[in-house]
Amino acid sequence: MEEKIKLGVVGLGNMGSSHLAYLKDMENIQVVAVCDILKNRADAMAEQYDADAYYSHEDMFAKATLDAVIIATPHFSHTPITVHAFQKGLHVLCEKPIAVHVDDAKRMLEAYEKAKLKNPHLIFGMMFQERTAPHFIKIKDILTSGELGRLTRVTWINTHWFRSQAYYDSGGWRATWAGEGGGILTNQCPHNLDMYNWLFGLPKTVDGFAHIGKFHNIEVEDEVTAYFEHEDGMIGHFIVCTGECPGVNRLEIVGENGTLLYQDQKLIFYKNRQSMITYCKESTRIFGTVENWETKIPIDYSKPQSHRTVTEHFAAGILKGNQSELIATGNEGLNPVMLANAIMLSSFERHRVELPLDGADYAKWLEKLAKNSRFLKAKTKNNDKIADLSDSAN
Ligand SMILES: NC(=O)c1ccc[n+]([C@@H]2O[C@H](COP(=O)([O-])OP(=O)(O)OC[C@H]3O[C@@H](n4cnc5c(N)ncnc54)[C@H](O)[C@@H]3O)[C@@H](O)[C@H]2O)c1
């Protein structure tokens, strides 16, 4: 392949347009084609970025000379567009979530495996830019080092996802079972669910409690509390909401050797002088506790982060023919969706769900919900408006 990757972008709304804004400055990528079902939008972006306009991905894949594609369309369409891209032998960088439900995600991964039989160097990346955030890199580093010892509890309260009704009104597909297939777990929290899985792995069981349209005029969930149990006994709490303001993003990780607390770009380590588990078993002091010291862990925020970094790694993966260059692989898209589906299934059916989840049960729920999806969006001036993503917290 020539050194410049010929790239197409499908979906030119909030995220697609924001990808285009940095792609124009990337040396090893040339955006040759842009695609949106809204003709005006595709034409405007094509003119702005000196690319060819297409109004269907089929047409773009048939006519444009492409090496790779970024898919930034509403979630349900990630599956058919990605599968089609792999059939055409294109490298794919897919926006989060990989898909709305486990079965669709598996279809994409199967298409990838099939396409790799023809080109073993084909790249499938996920846009999980939160993994480039310096505080999460530091937390991952500390957990990998084993300094915390055995983990006993993780509590993540992330209510920094406030969204107004205007946001939900801004796209006809948003927050409907038929158009989006879910609420906060499907739209905002794929990042957090990916992070949970990246840092702690998949739990063994999931209990979920989801409130549907509690703060907004929507038909999907906007407040969720989940309780996880892991194989080794660690428990997890996952509390998220789009209706709380001011919200908080507070992650507590408790290990036998101390507690790691992340909030407001600050990472504090309350280090136990000895293992709390050993102390608990062996101490003869009736009301004694383990002595601990507070340490503020420095985080280097000068390092590059966010979407562009993920795309740079995607480009490096293509040029070096090596999937290990990626920040997040397509395969890693599956577990966050599995967690989201398991939480909702548990909430709908009011019982504990075991992982790994067989996708069929939740797919049936979704099919039923989508069929009965009655939600009609009020026509407002925000319908189909491109939003300024810099306002988005987290
Ligand atoms: N990584 C992130 O930080 C981040 C942030 C926002 C959105 N996203 C993801 O990006 C995706 C798009 O979200 P958005 O906020 O940009 O939505 P949006 O509604 O602003 O934009 C979607 C665009 O896709 C177009 N479209 C719809 N179906 C299409 C199709 N079949 N072919 C071509 N174009 C099509 C629409 O006309 C629209 O212009 C979602 O999956 C979302 O989860 C990721």
CB of 73 closer than 6 A to ligand 1? Answer: yes
What's the pLDDT tens digit per position in 15-65? 999 999 999 999 999 999 999 999 999 999 999 999 999 999 999 999 999
Q: Taking residues 86-113, report their average pLDDT.
A: 98
In the predicted structure, residue 89 carries a pLDDT above the cut 70? yes
CB of 77 closer than 6 A to ligand 1? Answer: yes
Pocket test for ligand 1, best of 14, 19, 45, 189 (most atoms within 8 A of CB): 14
Specify the CATH superfamily of domain 131-303+336-389. Dihydrodipicolinate Reductase; domain 2 (3.30.360.10)
C-alpha 11 – ligand 1 centre gap (Å): 5
Confidence at residue 383, expressed as pLDDT on a 0 to 100 scale: 46
**Minimal-distance CA residue to ligand 1 atom 36:** 11
Closest ligand 1 atom to residue 81 Cα is 31
C-alpha 2 – ligand 1 centre gap (Å): 29
What's the pLDDT tens digit per position in 377-389? 555 454 455 544 4
3-state SS string over the chain? CCCCEEEEEECCCHHHHHHHHHHCCCCCEEEEEEECCCHHHHHHHHHHHCCEEECCHHHHHHHCCCCEEEECCCHHHHHHHHHHHHHCCCEEEEECCCCCCHHHHHHHHHHHHHHHHHCCCCCEEEECHHHHCHHHHHHHHHHHHCCCCCEEEEEEEECCCCCCHHHHHCCCCCCCCCCCCCCCCCCCCHHHHHHHHHHHCCCCEEEEEEEECCCCCCCCEEEEEEEEECCCCCEEEEEEECCCCCCCEEEEEEECCEEEEEECCEEEEEEECCCHHHHHHHCCCCCCCCCEEEEEECCCCCCCCCHHHHHHHHHHHHHHCCHHHCCCECHHHHHHHHHHHHHHHHHHHCCCEECCCCHHHHHHHHHHHHHCCCCCCCCCCCCCCCCCHHHCCC
In the predicted structure, residue 72 carries a pLDDT above the cut 70? yes
- Going from N- to C-terminal start, the domains of the chain cover 5-128+305-329, 131-303+336-389
| Yes or no: domain 5-128+305-329 corresponds to CATH 1.10.3720.10 | no
Q: Taking residues 338-348, report their average pLDDT.
A: 98
C-alpha 258 – ligand 1 centre gap (Å): 41
The percent of residues above 90 in pLDDT, for the chain, comes to 90
What average pLDDT is seen over the chain? 94
5-128+305-329 and 131-303+336-389, same CATH topology: no
Would the pTM of this model clear 0.85, i.e. be above it?
yes
Pocket test for ligand 1, best of 15, 174, 188 (most atoms within 8 A of CB): 15
